[in-house]
Amino acid sequence: MLALASFPAGFAPSTVPTSSAPTRTALIHMETVTDLEALANDLNPSLGYWDPTPLTDMDFWGQGTDATIGWLRHAEIKHGRVAMAAFVGFIFGSNGIHFPWDLTTSGISFADIAAAGGPGDQFDALPTNSKLSLLGAIAFLELWSENAYALKMSGEKHYMRGGKPGFYPSFNKGGIPHPVPFELFDPFGLSKSATPEKKQKGLLMEINNGRLAMIGIMGFVSESKVPGSVPVLSGFDIKPYAGEPMAFFSASDQLPFVDAMSNFHI
């Protein structure tokens, strides 16, 4: 994992022209192994660059090694962000912290879900429509982040075409009508006035925190599935989970192909 990150000029949304189709004026720079080595020293000078895999030498989909590095960089940043949210969510769910209102119009409340057990059981207890809504939201966010039009309107390119790994295009610049004018990245505009040095430090912190969060959330999940498998967590009250941590749906959802997928093992 340490070998999959390299520091770009910055992937926070930057100021772009106000025309309907802004474009980048900077030269396109595709990251190389040399960039990865430089980033590794910035992230952890004690460890430096360490690559136990052949990933950085691979050519995904015939796009070239530089495009492959861009894909890996983007994947690590994105997974790190999700893991940070999951880490905090697992702690909240384990301690019964929840919203005080109803989850559905049928009267199922967040308190009802919280009472199902640990985070794993709580997710299984979600109504099928809630899970489908989550999938729909994830699908939209993924499609928008990969969309060439959305990236162009934000003055950016795809991360495999010289764009910034980790960049998420603007909703407002893309013309999406929505009642809350917040962006997914930096919704309150806190980084707009940050200096380049501060942004660089923040980006490095995000990568390091994301890596720790990926390890942390997998530790939580492992300990809940196999109590005692993570000795450092044995002293914490992590509720055991008997279900399948990697399954989005369960038999209770009564959806096509769920049983077949649940019974599939590599």
pTM of the model: 0.83
Domain ranges (residues) in the chain: 2-262
Q: Assign 28 a pLDDT band (cuts: 50, 70, 90).
A: low
Structure tokens at 262: 């649940």
pLDDT score recorded for residue 24: 43
Structure tokens at 175: 């013309």
Please write the tens of the pLDDT for every residue from 153-176: 999 999 999 999 999 999 888 777
Please write the tens of the pLDDT for every residue from 107-159: 999 999 999 999 999 999 999 999 999 999 999 999 999 999 999 999 999 99
Query: What proportion of the chain, given as a percentage, has pLDDT over 90?
Result: 66
Q: What is the mean pLDDT of residues 188-198?
A: 85
Of 35-44, 119-128, 183-192, 227-236, least confident by mean pLDDT is: 183-192
- Residue 251, helix vs strand vs coil: helix
Alpha helices in the chain (DSSP H): 33-43, 65-94, 110-114, 119-125, 128-146, 148-153, 196-225, 258-262
CA distance 17 to 15: 7
Question: How many other β-carbons are positioned within 10 Å of the β-carbon of residue 224?
Answer: 25
